[in-house]
Structure 1
Amino acid sequence: MTKIVLLEKIHRTAVEHLNAAGFTDVVQLPTALKPEELKSALADADAVGIRSATHLSAESLAQLPRLKAIGCFCIGTNQVDLTAAAAHGIPVFNAPFSNTRSVAELVIAQAILLLRRIPEKNARTHRGLWDKSAQGAYEVRNKVLGIIGYGNIGAQVGILAESVGMRVAYFDVESKLPLGNARPAATMEDLLRQADVVTLHVPGGKTTENLMTAERIAAMKPTAVLINASRGGVVDIDALNTALREKRVAGAALDVFPAEPKNEKEEFVSPLRGLDNVILTPHIGGSTEEAQENIGREVADKLVRFLSAGTTRWAVNFPEIRHVAKEAKSRVLHVHRNEPGVIARMNADFAAAGLNIVAQHLQTRGPIGYVMTDVDDVIPQSLLKTLCNEPAAIRCELI
């Protein structure tokens, strides 16, 4: 029986979807696991579902030979060594669209609150101070929202911003078609100089590490605010802390951080704590009932399609084969090194066993090849052993 382990309080819709598809051996664990705990917890798992706090490194994956698929029940996948996973024949799936609206709404709410200086007024009122001053408080209408990273979420933020009267500019390293009245900026520095609100929506990784340096923060208007709901490593926190305390930027809202607690009992530590003009939220951009329900269903569906039919459409690290329902008697999934002669040898083995191939789907991605072969007969164990022992084989499964 296929075993699936879900970590980090993944929404119940995932379990419901898996159960409805016939995958009933689903184990749920409420928290993230440390690297030393993963081996025992996932030793007999065929698939694992994680969120952002569980890290699957190359070392961890090497200790899990049975693992066939990874589902990231979130947008990001930088918590998984994608190259190592592909090298082990493991596709990784995520949910790039399901929490888009929730994150976008949070960003717009934070922009309004910061420009109106609500966090400061709230903190002062809690301390018994009655500050009715309008100084430094602005409407968002006609203000410029500068979006760095104009992907799914960035574009949605722009649409919502226009609905409340903001003017939208964006910068992306790739050419992107603007939605609504949004306009591209020639450079990131050009965007920073004109924006009243700067919001970050870029992927994690080395190319975006400390993207917002001290120099780029200094390029912002002193009346501008910075919002980061993308990845914690994107902002130089010490540089932002200095700029805020020296009043070189008017405020900030952060939902993600370079180091985040693994659970609710661990203390959150940041130099930004205690600043009245800063909104700090515990990585809740996608933490709405609607988003988590959608994410649970979306990623679970991708796992179901792979485990039941070999489909890898939307895998982030793997050759993509569209969904084709298994109608033949047998389907062989073969992951191999992308080198000449593999398919020819495989098909010769089928022919030698007297089996006729009724459908075959092949895709490659870099060093990895993936072929799905349908045969309208039972596959002898001897043939399966031969296919799995192919010199270039990485993983071989029979459905």
Structure 2
Amino acid sequence: MTASPVRVLLVEQIHPEAEDILRSAGFEVEAVGRALDEDELVERISGITLLGIRSKTHVTKRVLDAADRLIAIGAFCIGTNQIDVPAATEHGVTVFNAPFSNTRSVVELAIAEIIAMTRRLTEKNALMHNGVWDKSAEGAHEVRGRTLGIVGYGNIGTQLSVLAENLGMKVMFFDKADKLALGNARQCMSLKELLAESDVVTLHVDGRPTNESFFGESDFATMRQGSLFLNLSRGFVVDYAALRAHIESGHIAGAAVDVFPVEPKGRGDEFVSELRGLPNVILTPHIGGSTEEAQQDIGRFVAGKFRDFMLDGSTAMSVNVPGLALPRPRDTLRMIYLHRNVPGVLARVNGLLADGGVNVEAQLLGTRGELGYVVTDSASGTTQAIVDSIRALPETISLRVIF
């Protein structure tokens, strides 16, 4: 049992602190400053142990089939819809993400855009740059006293709720799951109820496939006359052609959009959207979480997950594998075993260890749906033959030994 070098591929301008953490752990790191398409990733994935991506690089089953040494994928962002997680699980690949790290940055952008649209600042700014002095209060309002409707009351939605209320806004929210209302926020029993009563509607839903085309023509039609709309969640959840029509008709007074169904791969590439050129519409290039603070925290968080997973087998907060973190005794060999969750697997593993004369120092099992994950520490006696016997079990997905 010999240890192979840990090779890491980071794409899409992941923060340099991630590189520093991984190199300090003794890993070999290659960084690419842009997204990779499927063909490019298939070409590069051979020999890679850890893959770090952001939102534009998609890890498909084809990519996973081409990965001969891949052990973990880190999404250096909130969502993981760009990863075929079931296929990753089937290949024994653990998936991590950063579900909290950029929450504040997204919330601050939403607040800034709500104020900018309510005061029509983008239009005033454009006129000033064109030499036009248009000092007028027409169409400009305070956010205080206006009603904010939050669709999706997760990490971002809840923090936005608190800050908006501190600005004097009334807050309503709709979520398909029952959620604890923070402050004076009120939960709506239907999306229609929220849309009919909100001056500002903001989407913060996740990227699951069932949310595709979640918000469309009928929803815009239900919104109040002169209301504002924000989408800082996922591009494919909104019918932007319908949004354009409602802005052009004057029914929707303004919009702020940070995410799009199709986005350019890199800086400087042409951006195409039906929302270009509309008044009081703020378009940003998917920068909700793109602050230096958020990117540094994301880099630190996911790189730390990679390091701990490789050195100790810790899967805390993994997207697809049971979350375990077992303190490691000194001078022990650690066996990391991912298997199908069927009765009797642990007994068979321990039987093979006992038959080989291996004394277990510590052991921890966790299950999650169809998966089981076992961390086993032993002081001596674990041989390649024993490891091969466990790998040969029909329930085995992957087995890794840490010295």
- In structure 1, the residue matched to 2:22 is 18
Residue 135 of structure 1: CA displacement? 2.2
Alignment of structure 1 residues 163-312 onto 2, 5 Å: 163-312=166-315
SS in 2 for 1:339: coil
User: Could you tell me the TM-score, scaled by structure 1's length?
Assistant: 0.97
Q: Over the residues paired in the alignment, what is the CA RMSD in angstroms?
A: 1.3
What is the distance in 1 between the residues matched to 2:241 and 2:331? Answer: 59
Residue 171 of structure 1: CA displacement? 0.8
Q: Residue by residue, what CA displacement relative to the aligned partner does 1:25-78 show, whole Å, maximum 9, x if unpaired? A: 111111111111112312111101110011001121111131000111000110
**Residues 15 and 296 in structure 2, CA contact (< 8 A), matched pair in contact too:** yes
Residue 328 of structure 1: CA displacement? 5.0
Q: Residue by residue, what CA displacement relative to the aligned partner does 1:328-373 show, whole Å, maximum 9, x if unpaired? A: 5111111112222222211111011001112111122222221111
What is the distance in 2 between the residues matched to 1:378 and 1:73? Answer: 39
Alignment of structure 1 residues 1-399 onto 2, 5 Å: 1-20=5-24, 22-325=25-328, 327=330, 329-399=332-402
Query: Aligned in 2, Cα 1:264/1:39: closer, same or farther, shift over 3 Å?
Result: same
Moved more, 280-289 or 368-377: 368-377
Q: What amino acid does structure 1 have at the position aligned with 2:324?
A: I
User: Could you tell me the TM-score, scaled by structure 2's length?
Assistant: 0.96
Query: Aligned in 2, Cα 1:229/1:323: closer, same or farther, shift over 3 Å?
Result: farther
What is the distance in 2 between the residues matched to 1:118 and 1:285? Answer: 19
Residue 147 of structure 1: CA displacement? 0.5
Instruction: Count the aligned residue pairs.
Output: 398
Q: What amino acid does structure 2 have at the position aligned with 1:13?
A: E
Which blocks of at least 5 consecutive residues in structure 1 are unaligned? none
> Structure 1 runs of 4+ off > 6 angstroms?
none
Residue 132 of structure 1: CA displacement? 2.7
**Residues 311 and 324 in structure 1, CA contact (< 8 A), matched pair in contact too:** no
**Residues 117 and 137 in structure 1, CA contact (< 8 A), matched pair in contact too:** yes
**Residues 353 and 382 in structure 2, CA contact (< 8 A), matched pair in contact too:** no
SS in 1 for 2:377: strand
SS in 1 for 2:252: coil
What's the % identity of the aligned pairs?
48
Q: What amino acid does structure 2 have at the position aligned with 1:2?
A: V
What is the distance in 1 between the residues matched to 2:26 and 2:161? Answer: 40
What is the distance in 1 between the residues matched to 2:330 and 2:23? Answer: 21
What is the distance in 2 between the residues matched to 1:138 and 1:378? Answer: 74
**Residues 231 and 256 in structure 2, CA contact (< 8 A), matched pair in contact too:** yes
Q: What amino acid does structure 1 have at the position aligned with 2:275?
A: L
What is the distance in 2 between the residues matched to 1:113 and 1:275? Answer: 15
SS in 2 for 1:112: helix
Residue 276 of structure 1: CA displacement? 2.0
**Residues 329 and 378 in structure 1, CA contact (< 8 A), matched pair in contact too:** no
What is the distance in 2 between the residues matched to 1:147 and 1:325? Answer: 44
